[in-house]
Amino acid sequence: MRAVGGLGAVAWVALLALLGWPSAAAGQQRVESCVTCHLETGDDRLADPVKRFGEDIHSAKGFGCVACHGGDAKEAGMEAMDPAKGYIGKPDRQQVQTVCGRCHSDARFMKRYNPALRVDQVTEYATSVHGRRLKELGDPKVAICVSCHPAHSIKPPSDPRSTVHPLKVAETCGRCHADAKHMEAYKIPTDQFQKYKESVHWRMMSIKGDLSAPTCNDCHGNHGAAPPGVTWVGNVCGQCHAVQAEFFAKSIHAKVFAQMGAPGCAACHSNHEIKEATDAMLGLGDNAVCAGCHAAGDKGGKAAVEMRALLDSLSGESEKARAILLQAERAGMEVSQAQFDLNGAKDALVKARAAVHAFTVQAVKKEGEPGFAIGAKAYARGVRALDELQFRRKGLAVSLVIILALIVGLVLRIRQLDRRS
C-alpha cells in the first residue's frame, strides 16, 4: 500500500466507509444475526448452510438467509426466528417451489437482475413427472428444486462447479436415476446414465469439449422432465439435427411409426446410447437397422439395399479419384485444384447420407448425383496428369538419346580432327 501516499490500510477503510463505499460499508451491514448465531451453535446442521452459502449465487447477489427463510436478521436472540416475522423454518418438500418461485416466477423482479433469465421454472416443473407426482402423491423420491440445485450452494449453469453445468447434469440426474435402490418402486430402467456415457453425444461433450452436444436436460427439458412422447422425439432431436428431422417428418416412416408406437429417431438410433452413424446401418446387412423391420422381398428392404449401393458407389468413386490424384501429386504433378474440387463430392456424400431420412431411393440419388459428376471429373484429371507424366518421361528419354548421340558425334569428330593434325 506504499503507493497511496502514506495513509495506512485502516485509515483507508475508515475513509471509504465514511464516503459510503459500497463494498466496505454494505458488506459489514449485511452480516445477519442468523449467520453469527448459527456458527456459534457448533451444530453442523445449523452451521453448514452458513459455511456453504459464501459461494452461492444468492449470496453473491446480496441476499441473505431471510430471503428464503424469513425472520428478522436484526434480532440477535431466538426471536430472530419468530413466525410472526415471516419465519418459515426449514421449508418442506411441497413448500420449496413456492419459496424459490416467489422470485423466480416474478418476471418484473428477476428483470432487475438478469433480463435474459427464464421465469418458467416453477410452471415447467409442475408439468414434469417430478412435479406431478409431488403434487398428486406427495412422492418423497422425485426431484424438487433443491435436489438439482443444492440449497446454500446454488450456482448458475455456466459455472463449471455447478451441479447443472452441462458436464455435471448427467451425474446430477444419475444420482437418482442410476440408483436402482432409489428407483426400486418404479417400473422404469435405471441405465440411462450408463448408456448416455457410451454415446457419441457424451463423447463430443466430455472429450471434444463441445458443450452444444446434448445432455439429459437438452432432450428432457430443463424443468419439464418427462419422457419425450413417441410423436415428438423427432422435434427433440430436430432442435439440433434439423436436416434429418425435416426429411424424416415428410417420410412414410413418420406416419407409420406413429401408428406403430415406434419412437421416431430413437427407433433406429436408440435414445441414450446413440452411436456414430455409419453406412453399415443402412441396407439389410448385420448392422443394418432396416433389417429389423424389412426383408429382401419387400419394397422397404429393396429400397434399403439400393440406397446402400448408391452410397457405397459414391464413396468408392470419390476414394478412387482421391487415390489417383494423390499418386499424381506425389510424382510432382500439379493437381491441387482437382483435389480441392473433390471436396464437393464429399459434401454430396454428406447430403446423400442425410437424405437417407427421406427413405426413398430418389432422394439419395438426387443429393448424390453432383458427387458422381465431381468424382468422375476429378478422376479424369488424375488420369490426364499421369498420362502427361508418361509423356514427359518419354520426351525426357528421347532428348537424352539425342544429346548422347550429339556428344558421341562430337567426340568422334574431335578425334577425326586430331588425327588429321
Chain positions 364 to 393 lying near ligand HEC, rule: CB under 6 A, are none
Which of 70, 234, 222, 75 lies closest to 156, judged by CA?
Answer: 222
Q: Closest Cα partner for 274 from 197, 170, 165?
A: 197
Among the residue ranges 192-200, 381-389, 390-398, 412-420, the one whose residues contact ligand HEC (CB under 6 A): 192-200
CB of 138 to ligand HEC, least distance (A): 12
Binding ligand HEC by CB under 6 A: which of 153, 244, 315, 318? 244
Our finding on whether 170 is near ligand HEC (CB under 6 A) is yes
Which parts of 134-163 interact with ligand HEC (CB under 6 A)?
141-149, 151-152, 154, 156-157
Least distance CB 375 / ligand HEC (angstroms): 17
Torsion of CA 217, 219, 223, 229, to 10 degrees: -150
Binding mask 285-304 for ligand HEC (x = CB under 6 A): ----xx-xxx---xxx--xx
Closer Cβ to ligand HEC, 175 or 320, answer by number: 175
> Does 311 interact with ligand HEC (rule: CB under 6 A)?
yes
Q: How far is the CB of 317 from ligand HEC (least distance, A)?
A: 15
Nearest to 282, CA basis, from 230, 342, 345, 358: 358
Q: Which stretch binds ligand HEC (CB under 6 A): 2-10, 15-23, 270-278, 402-410?
A: 270-278
Q: Does the protein bind ligand HEC through residue 240 (CB under 6 A)?
A: yes
Residues 313/315/317/323 CA torsion (nearest 10 deg): -150
- Using CA atoms of 191, 192, 196, 199 in order, give the dihedral in degrees to the nearest 10: 70
- How far does CA 258 lie from the centroid of its chain? 27
Size of the site for ligand HEC (CB under 6 A): 148
Segment 178-182 long-range contacts (CB within 8 Å, at least 24 positions apart): 182/141
Nearer to ligand HEC, 198 or 334 (CB): 198
Q: Of 60-68, 335-343, 370-378, 382-390, which part binds ligand HEC (CB under 6 A)?
A: 60-68
Burial of 248 per CB tally in 10 Å (0-12, 13-18, 19+): buried
Q: 21 or 186, CB closer to ligand HEC?
A: 186
Candidates 134, 153, 216, 224; binder of ligand HEC (CB under 6 A) is 216
Residue 168: name the closest of 200, 145, 193, 189 by CA: 193
Candidates 41-49, 329-337, 364-372, 402-410: pick the segment binding ligand HEC (CB under 6 A): 41-49
DSSP character at residue 271: S
Q: Is the CB of 217 or the CB of 318 nearer to ligand HEC?
A: 217
**Closest separation in Å from C-beta 366 to ligand HEC:** 15
Which phi-psi region, left, alpha or beta, contains residue 406 (left: φ > 0; alpha: ψ -120 to 50)?
Answer: alpha
- Alpha helices in 85-188, H assignment, sequence order: 93-104, 107-111, 121-127, 129-137, 145-148, 166-177
Is 155:162 a contact under the CB 8 Å cutoff? yes
Using CB under 6 A as the binding rule, the residues of this chain from 1 to 20 that contact ligand HEC are: none
The answer to the question of residue 357 lying near ligand HEC (CB under 6 A) is yes
Contact call for residue 421 and ligand HEC (CB under 6 A) = no
Cα distance between residue 51 and residue 56, in whole Å:
10
Site for ligand HEC in 66-105 (CB under 6 A): 66-69, 71-73, 76-78, 80-81, 89-91, 96-97, 99-100, 102-104
In this structure, which amino acid lies at residue 29? Q
